[in-house]
Structure 1
Amino acid sequence: MNLDIDGHLVTAVSFDYAVGLSMDGGLDLRIETTMSLRDSAGERVTFDPQDSPDLPTIVRRLVLMKRIKAATAREDTGHLCVDFEDGVRIEVAANAHHEAWSLVGRSGVRAVATPGGGLTVWSSRS
């Protein structure tokens, strides 16, 4: 599923037991479980947002003020993949017990990776 955030710019990054990416246009992505971050050179690091003291520095350096090239989520598993124009990639797999990530998009659309895998999408029109 295309998450309709392609081309948006990450304008702020926040940390509070999760990683929050705010984008132009009022879009917000919140990652609450283990995430994989690959830099443009192909180096991959996996972090738990709740237990990674170096995460704020690394995430800000790699994604702040960068434009998203493509973002997709698998409806059957909830696996999230966000690619940036410079080759950086964030991936978040489903979590057995928690919502791994959520996105608040345009016009009140909300997508949530459900515990155990899967994706639920609500719209303001539902």
Structure 2
Amino acid sequence: MIDLDIEGATVEKVDNVLPVSIFTSNDWMIKIESDIHISPSIAESGVLDGEDPDTISILKESITGLEVVKVEIASSRLHLEFEGSIAIDAQSDPDFESWGVVGPYGQRIECMPGGELAVWPERPSE
């Protein structure tokens, strides 16, 4: 499992362009290009298409301004929980990059095709 310093931050913005990009108050960016498994209270089917413009509107309405209470990267799955019992999960895709997380100091994690994680550490300060 990989630990990230996102918990306690709030969702400042869900960007208007695809892929889905979520920005936090502590300068993290979470990008999701695959299907998004979300709490059934948000989407009846429980699944949103990461490449569908409607997904942006749904996420903007549902998570903007909420606190991130849990972030977990285990194997090739990204799990995010927000206040109000809202959770989203992004899984790997066999053929495409499915999600990525970029931190304020250049640290980066990308879920590559097939689920392998590519990890770039924090850039050294000058």
Q: TM-score, normalised by structure 2?
A: 0.86
2 CA distance for matches of 1:93 and 1:32? 10
2 CA distance for matches of 1:40 and 1:69? 18
In structure 2, the partner of 1:107 is 105
In structure 2, the partner of 1:62 is 62
User: 1:20-69: CA deviations, max 9, x gaps?
Assistant: 0011121111101111111568965211122x343222111111011100
Instruction: Look up the equivalent residue of 1:31 and give its one-letter code.
Output: I
Identity of aligned residues (%): 25
Q: 1:116 aligns with which of 111, 114, 117?
A: 114
Deviates more, 1:30-39 or 1:64-73: 30-39
| Unmatched runs of 5 consecutive residues or more in structure 2 | none
Contact 1:39-1:62 at 8 Å conserved across structures:
no
Aligned residues: 122
For the residue of structure 1 that corresponds to 2:88, the secondary structure is strand
Contact 2:72-2:78 at 8 Å conserved across structures:
yes
| TM-aligned CA distance change 1:16 to 1:41, over 3 Å | closer
| Unmatched runs of 5 consecutive residues or more in structure 1 | none
